[in-house]
Amino acid sequence: MSETAVVDTGAVPAPHSASGKKHLHARHAPRGGLAVLTLGALGVVYGDIGTSPLYAVNEIFFGHGHVTPAPANVRGCISLVVWVLTTVVALKYVILMLRADNDGEGGVFALYGLLHRHKTAGVAMLLSALMLGAGMVFGDGIITPAISVLSAMEGLGAATPSLAHAAVPLTVIILTALFAIQYHGTARVGRWFGPVLVCWFVCLGALGARQIARHPDILAALNPLYGARFLYANGLHPSLLMMGALMLVVTGGEALYADMGHFGPRPIRAGWFALVYPALMLNYLGQGAFLLGGSPLSGGRLFFSLAPTVLMLPLITLATAATVIASQALISGAFSLASQAMALGLFPRLRIVHTSHAHAGQVYMPFVNWSLYLGAVLLVIVFRSSSALASAYGLAVSGEMVATSVAMVAVAAAYWKWNRLRSGLVFGAFAAVDASFLAANSLKLLEGGFIPVVLGVALFLVMVTWRWGRKATFAAYSAKHTMSMAELVRRHRRADHYVERNALLMVPKPLRSAHDHTPALLQLLWDRYGVLPRNLIFVEVIHRKVPYVHDDRYLVTVFRREPPKGSIISVTLSFGFMEDPNVERVLEELASHREIDLPTDMHKWIVHVSVENLLPSKAMGLAGRFRLRLFALLRHISQPAHYYYGLGDAVQLSAEIIPVRLK
């Protein structure tokens, strides 16, 4: 529950009480029955992995994998496809990792929050690994829209060879339209995602079953020994080349975990085992069956060769819709990932536009949107084919998969009460598989794999620098000598004149006892004007490492309350990393419940904020100065904290520049 504390500073507080209300931002649990939620999950969660059949097996045999489509090789590679899909996606993600929820949320930063609560040995390194993994997700995320839409457009060459040259410009047009409509939000079109993806998966299964019926001997690939024999017979380097292409089969598996908070684990599991998993298995087996038949490919594209000629154009249309949906899910996921990183204090505060009044999680971030667009379009123009793009795909996401598997060793021990041996054996085995993919994809480094890696490392440096800069600024700001709260109360009580405008000060640390020192901003205002506001409210905002704050949304500490003389009150507000931190709205509610002495008309408030002028310490070296310059650049593109917290929409702002010397 929310609390109100009274600090004894010699004044007699007026009667008051805590309302105990849970303020705003309450978690929106997934609504609807299992069937409705499962349909929604099909449209959002499975777009990426569901469009992998467009290019994955094609890459193994006719792209980066360079595997000759002889019968033994076909059975061996399809066996590896089937069992990698089963172990990595079905077992690791769908069955096990969906259990690792952070108050119902999943994803890299949900794991970060779980681990952050346990300061055991090695956790700091794991947290850094997860930050790097999050950067890698962004890096590979730029490739997903490009390779998905381009692979669908390449189907035009299979249907009409004369249109093969149109794949690149059409892809750019579709991507431009897709990113341009993002500011509208996805609520209206989202209802169509599920039914379209259902049609897509039914089509995948039907195409595969048709080929299996013609060449049922492909079912021998269900025996994992065929995959093991292939790896043994081909040696290390050819096997690594094949595994680099095989990685494309499981990309998108991390989305199953990341989107858990939108639908819950049951609908995701139901959709996977009832439709997605069988459809993917049938289609991959069907592609293997087609290769066993020895028929020539249509336009050099294995997937489109499964369909009769008369159905080619409808299939291309459906594939295009599926890839657009997969790209849309990726873009929305990038918005959510960035907003979580901002709330955790790992990323600059970028502008967020809420596109739905009913769902706080539906947001649009212009900077992220157009950065993704620019990257995706440049990749399409430079690489010009899905096969070439596949060379750049997989390295970064395999690194993220290694990080999550290693982190799960600690999570399983801490939250599931597994002993170290059990958690180490289970998730250590997954980490070994993920590491083999990482090693295989490292061969792609010079062929384009460096692109998502460089982007991922750059974003990791941004997160590390932003976290350092915020901590260093807080330390320097807190080191300034200021009066104590007890002294402030004495000066307020002795004053004959007050500033009548109700004042709020954003503060960087809690003020809960008479011995706490006031922020440097108040000391500056006192030294300059020598007069205090009649009603003075200190506001501190805390971002917890949890998705939602269910209790103790706010803590009110009363230092002085003597109507009509005035009051001095400190308010601590807490938000989770999945919540909208609208401080103005919460303060308005507190004022309406008379828990703080402010008029309900926000136009009668004035918020005092500080703007730090960052200066290097004399002992700071060259590397430290470079880091400071990077942090200063990030602050330049970041929204000021008061705007990020919703202050300034209706409230007047007063900003003071305070020099801060960082060490």
- Each residue of 517-551: pLDDT tens digit? 998 889 888 988 889 998 899 999 988 878 888 87
Say yes or no to pLDDT of 8 above 80.
Answer: no
Average pLDDT over residues 94-103: 88
For residue 13, what pLDDT is reported?
37
Say yes or no to pLDDT of 173 above 90.
Answer: yes
The CATH class that applies to domain 34-467 reads mainly alpha
Of 326-340, 416-430, 618-632, which gets the smallest average pLDDT? 326-340
Predicted confidence band at 617 (pLDDT cuts at 50, 70, 90)?
confident
The larger pLDDT score, comparing residue 549 to residue 202, is at 202
For residue 389, what pLDDT is reported?
85
Torsion 638-640-646-649 (CA) sign: negative
Predicted confidence band at 474 (pLDDT cuts at 50, 70, 90)?
confident
For residue 431, what pLDDT is reported?
94
Residue whose C-alpha is closest to residue 445's, from 398, 376, 406, 375: 398
Q: What tokens does 599 get?
A: 């008029």
For residue 340, what pLDDT is reported?
81
Of 26-40, 115-129, 232-246, which gets the smallest average pLDDT? 26-40
Predicted confidence band at 255 (pLDDT cuts at 50, 70, 90)?
confident
Q: Please state the pTM of the whole predicted model.
A: 0.80
Distance, CA of 239 to CA of 75 (rounded, Å): 15
Say yes or no to pLDDT of 219 above 90.
Answer: yes
DSSP 609: E
For residue 420, what pLDDT is reported?
87
For residue 211, what pLDDT is reported?
96
Residue whose C-alpha is closest to residue 190's, from 337, 377, 366, 356: 356
Residue whose C-alpha is closest to residue 289's, from 207, 226, 227: 207
Of 23-32, 73-82, 344-353, 474-483, which gets the smallest average pLDDT? 23-32
Say yes or no to pLDDT of 554 above 60.
Answer: yes
For residue 430, what pLDDT is reported?
94
Look over the chain and give the mean of its residue pLDDT values, rounded to a whole number: 84
Average pLDDT over residues 317-340: 84
CATH 1.20.1740.10 residue ranges of the chain are 34-467
- Each residue of 361-378: pLDDT tens digit? 567 889 989 999 999 999
Say yes or no to pLDDT of 422 above 90.
Answer: yes
Of 51-60, 85-94, 328-337, which gets the smallest average pLDDT? 328-337
For residue 89, what pLDDT is reported?
94
Q: What percent of the chain has pLDDT over 90?
A: 32
Say yes or no to pLDDT of 648 above 80.
Answer: no
Under 8 Å between Cβ of 143 and 330: no
Say yes or no to pLDDT of 454 above 70.
Answer: yes
Neighbours of 443 (CB within 10 A): 17
Dump the DSSP string for 441-502: HHTTGGGTTHHHHHHHHHHHHHHHHHHHHHHHHHHHHHTS---BHHHHHHHHHH-S-EE-SE
Say yes or no to pLDDT of 634 above 60.
Answer: yes
The larger pLDDT score, comparing residue 64 to residue 572, is at 572
Predicted confidence band at 155 (pLDDT cuts at 50, 70, 90)?
confident
Q: What tokens does 312 get?
A: 């080619």
For residue 426, what pLDDT is reported?
94
Predicted confidence band at 491 (pLDDT cuts at 50, 70, 90)?
very high
For residue 659, what pLDDT is reported?
82
Q: Which residues contact 524 (CB under 8 A, 6 or more apart)?
A: 610, 656, 658
